[in-house]
């Protein structure tokens, strides 16, 4: 079968971003989440990566803080509530830290459920990822 570039054009495929609502029992309104693109995830990984001096080799290496990366991914995918809302941040004592708001407002099981929904929606639903999310949520 001959491939056609037409099969890959945006107007023929549509946006890779999808939205979904996740209802958590304690909250009156559902959380609205979106899928993340590979580009967005790459940018978030860069934010969570720092240069660190390796004391043995005396060379700088890139090191990704996986916990910070996961928090950034979850926060980026939450559309509603607006985690940048000043009133919400003040209420939970996390001024200018949208990724910390979720960690304060959600129980560990709720955080895991929301994280899993985001991973599923973004197409990252392999078993290793969900185990990592559960482990991260416990921390």
Task: Name residues whose C-beta falls within 8 Å of residue 60's C-beta, 6 or more positions apart in sequence.
Answer: 51, 52, 53, 54
- In the chain (139 residues long), the average pLDDT of successive 10-residue segments reads 76 80 93 92 92 87 90 93 93 90 93 92 65 50
Domain segments of the chain: what residues?
17-37+67-138
Nearest to 98 by CA among 75, 65, 74, 115: 75
Residue with tokens 């790459």: 42
End-to-end Cα spacing for the chain: 50
Residue 67 backbone dihedrals phi, psi, to 5 degrees: -65, -45
The CATH number of the structural domain formed by 17-37+67-138 is 3.30.2220.30
For the entire predicted model, the pTM comes to: 0.75
Residue with tokens 């949520």: 137
């Amino acid at each position: 079968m001959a491939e056609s570039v037409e099969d890959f054009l945006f107007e023929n495929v549509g946006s890779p971003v999808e939205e979904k609502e996740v209802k958590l029992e304690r909250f009156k309104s559902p959380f609205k989440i979106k899928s993340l693109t590979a580009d967005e995830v790459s940018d978030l990984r860069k934010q969570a990566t720092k240069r660190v001096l390796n004391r043995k080799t005396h060379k700088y290496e890139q090191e990704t803080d996986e916990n910070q990366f996961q928090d950034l991914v979850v926060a980026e995918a939450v559309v509603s509530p607006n985690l940048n809302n000043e009133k919400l941040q003040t209420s939970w004592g996390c001024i200018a830290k949208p990724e910390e708001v979720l960690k304060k407002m959600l129980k560990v099981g709720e955080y895991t459920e929301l994280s899993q929904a985001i991973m599923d929606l973004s197409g990252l639903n392999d078993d290793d990822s969900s185990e990592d999310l559960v482990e991260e949520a416990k921390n």
